[in-house]
Every structure is written in C-alpha cells, then in structure tokens.
Structure 1
Amino acid sequence: MMVNSNGQELLAWLDVETTGLQAKRDALLEVGVTITDLQGVERESCSWTIHHDRIPCTKDTVKAFGMHTANGLLEACFDDTRSVPLNMVERGLLDMLADQARHAVDGRLHPAGTNLQFDLDWLYAKFSPEGAARLESLLSYRRLDLTAFRLGGQARQLMTGVKSEAEHLPSTDHRVDTCLDRDLTEYRAWLGKGEE
C-alpha cells in the first residue's frame, strides 16, 4: 500500500454485536463500520450480519440471547438471505478499510467508537490470522473512544451540575447501525455540529 502523507485524518467507527463477553467462546453476530472525517462527515458505511447454523447458549449468554432475540438479530443470523459467512465479512470490512485508508494520513484510519478495545479484540480474535494482521496494519494506534467523552461528561456534571450530552441521547436497540448512529450523533454534538 502506498502511504499518503498528505491525506486526511479519517475515523473508522466500529461496532460489533456478540452473544457474550468472551471472544474465544462466544459468537460474533454483527459487524458495522462507518468512515468519517474528523468533523463527523460520513464517507462510507456498511454493516454485516454473520451467518450461523448453530449458536450455543450458556448461563453466561442468556441475557445477550434475550436482547438479540428481541431486536431480531439472532433470527437474521440464521437466515441465509439476511446473513453472510464470517470470511465474507472479514473480506468486505478489510477491503472497505483499505480503500478508505488510501485517502488517510500515512495510510491508516483512526479507530473510533464506544468501548473500542472490546470491538477490536473481537475482530482480531474472530478474523483469520492474515485478516487480523491486515486489520492491524490499516488502523492507527491513535484511537477515539467515546467512553472517555462520557466519563469526562460525568466528571464535569459532578463538579458543575451541568448534564452531559450523552444523557440526552436515545437508548440503543443493540444493532450495529443504531449504535454507530448514536455514537456519531454524540460525537457531532460534542463538536457542536448537531445532526448532519
């Protein structure tokens, strides 16, 4: 890949939905990504529901199963017309990131999202070794995690009594598109831009 030192600082907003907290044991159900510039202007967005023939349920995953039954995600994972194999998700995500990274400073995108390390750990664990290495090569070590914004807002509220922007956002249905939209709405509000 050719390095573009004159490119833009671009953010790769990532989100995953899973059946639990253990990437080595639990199932990855959905992956989403939205590419924006630093002002939150969207360049490209895509999401994938991962096909499963069988998903084991344990006492540790019951809550996630209930949530993803209610939001329709589990049903979609078993439907051949609404889900794709993990290797297609891997290829699609990496190709999209590589295409956008051509326009980024030094050919790397800044990962962004909520609880970002969780999402990245899942992708690194579930992708093939080659795919995980390619993903790492496309992403900067500099990250934007909205959890820091939210904790800062809580600290400010404790000190000043001023409510944080996150308190005014709608709750999520735990689907990647909704979570990414919520993250971007919050980020734009933090920038003072409102809705794009």
Structure 2
Amino acid sequence: MMTTSRDVLLWVDTETTAIRPEEGELLEIGMRVTDMTGNPLPGPEGRYSRVIHPTNGIRLTCGTMEPILGMHRDNGLIRESLLSGTGPDETAEDACQWIVDIQTKLDPDRLIIAGTNIQFDIDWITSKLPALADGLNSLTDYHRMDMTALRLALATLGPHQHEHTTHRVDDCLDRDTNEYQQTISILRHTKE
C-alpha cells in the first residue's frame, strides 16, 4: 500500500466496561489526526474525546466487575461517566461533525483509521454509536493501521516494551502515536 503526503491517520480509542459490546457499556471515545509519520496536525481541533453517559446505567457481571470496572473506578472514568458524560446519541452526532470538519479542513486523499486492536473499537462504535459507525464508514478509507500488528512485528526483532496507560482515551492515544513514531524511526533506521 503506497501512501502519499495527503493521507491522514485517524486514531481511535474507546474505553468500555466489558470485552464484548453486548455485555457492557461504552464509557469514553477519543480520536486524533496525524500525518502518516504520526506527527500531530496543527490546532486543538486535531483531538477529540468525550466521556459517554450510559443511558441504562452500568451492568455488572462476574467477568467484568473487578478487572474492567475496578480499572475504570480507579482512573475515575466510571464516576465521570455517570455524573457528567454526554449521551450516546449526542456523542455520535458530535463525533461525526468533528470528522466532517477534519475532512473539510484537511481534504486528505485518504483518512485511514488507526489504533491498537482497532477492530475492537470499531465493533464497540458499531454496536453503541451506530450513527458514528455510519459516518466512519462513509468518510474513511477501507484500510486500517493496527498498532498490535506493528508491536508483534517489532517483537520478532527482540524484546519490545509496551507502554502501559491509565486506560483513558487521551493517554492511550498518546501512547499509540508515540509508539507509532518510534516504529517509523526504527523502520527508517533499518532502511539506511
């Protein structure tokens, strides 16, 4: 896949209360835009994040109570979601408008979705924010850039440390874009 300078990466991350959408709630969504080397594009409009208020509360199951809910209790996301999050419909509409604004401002040849295990995030968005999923399908390229694949490939070269996060979308997206830039640097170095 050949890239041009007019291609843009749309980094996406979600935070949830379960592994599968049918078992939990979507609590937070974040997006960033960078060029193909992972450099942020100028302006605060290149970043988007929203805490989502689950319309039917948060369901507890044996499989999610401690590992996932404990993590999001400790990082404050559950409290923030229940007290001040934006509803799913409003979040989907707002996020779609943000992507349209990015498309209009940047006019990229391709807007390529990127992230860690990105299909996980797409599945959650499709299930919980279907209007946003429609917007992503119509406004982005069909190619995906998955950090998991890059990390696995780098692991074949030797030990690769994966940076841990607070499991909030801004922190995870910072990690992803930083690791992506490091990966690009490694690839450039091996090419020389």
- Give the TM interval when normalised to the shorter protein: 0.7 to 0.9
Tell me, yes or no, if structure 1 residue 145 matches structure 2 residue 149.
no
In structure 2, distance between residues paired with 1:141 and 1:135: 10
Partner of 2:175 in structure 1? 182
Tell me, yes or no, if structure 1 residue 58 matches structure 2 residue 61.
yes
Of 123, 126, 140, the match for 2:125: 123
Partner of 2:40 in structure 1? 42
Of 162, 165, 175, the match for 1:172: 165
Superposed displacement of residue 25, structure 1 = 2.8
1:15-38 deviation digits (Å, cap 9, x = unpaired): 000000111231000000001111
Superposed displacement of residue 156, structure 1 = 1.8
Superposed displacement of residue 139, structure 1 = 1.6
Superposed displacement of residue 13, structure 1 = 0.3
Q: Which runs of 4+ in 1 moved over 6 A?
A: none
Superposed displacement of residue 101, structure 1 = 2.3
Give the counterpart letter for 2:168 in structure 1: R
Q: Which one has a larger percent helix, Structure 1 or Structure 2?
A: 2
Contiguous gaps of at least 5 residues in structure 1: 1-5, 158-162
Give the counterpart letter for 2:80 in structure 1: A
TM-score (norm 2): 0.85
Superposed displacement of residue 87, structure 1 = 1.2
Partner of 1:99 in structure 2? 101
In structure 2, distance between residues paired with 1:156 and 1:42: 28
RMSD: 1.8
SS in structure 2 opposite 1:65?
A: helix
Partner of 1:87 in structure 2? 89
Give the counterpart letter for 2:177 in structure 1: L
Partner of 1:74 in structure 2? 78
Alignment of 1:4-19 (within 5 A): 8-19=6-17
In structure 2, distance between residues paired with 1:25 and 1:149: 29
Instruction: Report the count of equivalent residues.
Output: 175
Identity of paired residues, percent? 35
